[in-house]
Structure 1
Amino acid sequence: MNLLNRLLILMCLLCISCNGELSEEVSSPNDSSKELPLSISTTSIAKGKVGENFEVALTSQGGVQPYTFSTQDSLPSGVTLSSQGVLSGTPDSVFSATITFVATDSENATVARDFLITISPPDGIERCAVIVDFDSAGSTLPDSRFNTIFSDVYTDVYQDGITTVIGSHENYNHAGVSGAGFSLYSGDKIRLIWKNVSSVNSHTFSPRISFIETGRFTTSNSANWLLSSSLTLNPGETGVSEYTIPSYTTSNTFNVNQNINQGKQLLLDRIEFVESARGTNEVCVID
């Protein structure tokens, strides 16, 4: 065999060897381009709050895009899940539960992951509820213990509250509610929410309250009236006068007297009860 033939054979052997090494490289299990397993990469879901916009996007990785998301569990009321994995809406009630979400890729591979979703109460006063909301468009009694609104002949709803509409005498003004009966315990509170709709006058006053009287304050029944906390309202301001229950009290009526000479300026917007018997998810929103 001459020298040229030997060289040709040697070159062929070298080519075969190189091709084998390249083939092994391509099939190597450590190739970084190999597909990753499907997973949900989101690690947690931020807390939401009742009455506030809630939006969280779930994310996935691996598998073959695009991904779709789903769940068989009940979401917070007011919140929905899109197929792209976006949780959105405005929650309307307190919620706390573990939800299982499923991600599916384009080859129908699936993966599931659990998340705790918590919707907290709105900012406000806990264990509190509106007893009566006075409004010229229609006063409401949200608390089933009460079914009747009463007031002085010179007192009526005006704008979004109740006030003296004829004259201005401090004793010719009262408004309240009655019903089947209620009980309050030591430490419970009564909140009277007031508005000053005057554009020029400030008012400082201490409202009177009664669990007995359904009529006007008089000198003869003064022992049946109690003073709520004093407050000063400048033009356009809203404020709260509170009374803390000193001991167990039961009644079927609650009455408020403004205890100040004025007309169509100080409005009693609503009455709220803060009660230890209520749940922490019952909240009165602060104006």
Structure 2
Amino acid sequence: MILSADPAVLCTVVALLAYLGALLPAAPERRWPVQLLFTAWVLHAIVLLAGAGAWAGEGQGLRLGFAPVLSLTIWLVLAVHGVESRFLPLASARRALALAGALAVLLAWVFPGEVRAIAHSRWAPLHWVLGLTSYGLFGAAVLHAILLDTADNRLRHRAPGGGPAGMGNGMPLLKLERLTFRFVEAGFVVLTLALWLGLQSEAEWRWDRKSVLSVLGWATFAALIIGRVWRGWRGRQATRWLYAGSLLLLLAYVGTRFVYEVVLQRPPA
């Protein structure tokens, strides 16, 4: 009954089921898991658009909260994977992405957040769009880093089925590494622009936990890029910095909002 009353809820449930279906093991030549993942991604987009419908209403705003932002981030990572998979084989990421998508949709359903106005200045909407885009780019970088570390670990321990030497998830390890840090570099540029625009808006920018953690995350990625260029950081030494910077960014918004919404159960200060 509740499903027929709210199309957004129906899309949420079907998207969740499609993600769970894409989690099922299947032979590499089977196309139905990829088709299910794509179907879930499209329905996930509809759910996100329904949540962002406040843009068209009175008192323009956006549905914000730890779960909606996390959901959008996972959706962006899936979008990057969908484009990338047309050119590069990353079939081993399918089940991890399906699980992440299912959890993101479920969390956003249970914790829908709240509609808040963000247009405190002319730069505020662009600041938010760039910030969320950087989340998606760093999320894609983390996905590739996990695949890179997994392939590197198989090579080190000569695990059965590890594939030809120097190969990871169907592509040369060096190519996978370069791709990983292209996402880092793109995310760093977008994050820099987002922080710069935030600083231009005195009404939007405050030196609170979110801002401090965001700047620390930015500094971590800057150190990673400098370390790769000047010191030749590679492999796990580089991916550890990537994980640390991504964790700081995740704590900056998603973590602080989670504490307020779930632990303290009150609006952010």
**Which TM-score applies when normalising by structure 2?**
0.22
Larger radius of gyration: 1
- Greater share of strand residues, 1 or 2? 1
User: If each structure's helix is expressed as a fraction of its own residues, which one has the higher value?
Assistant: 2
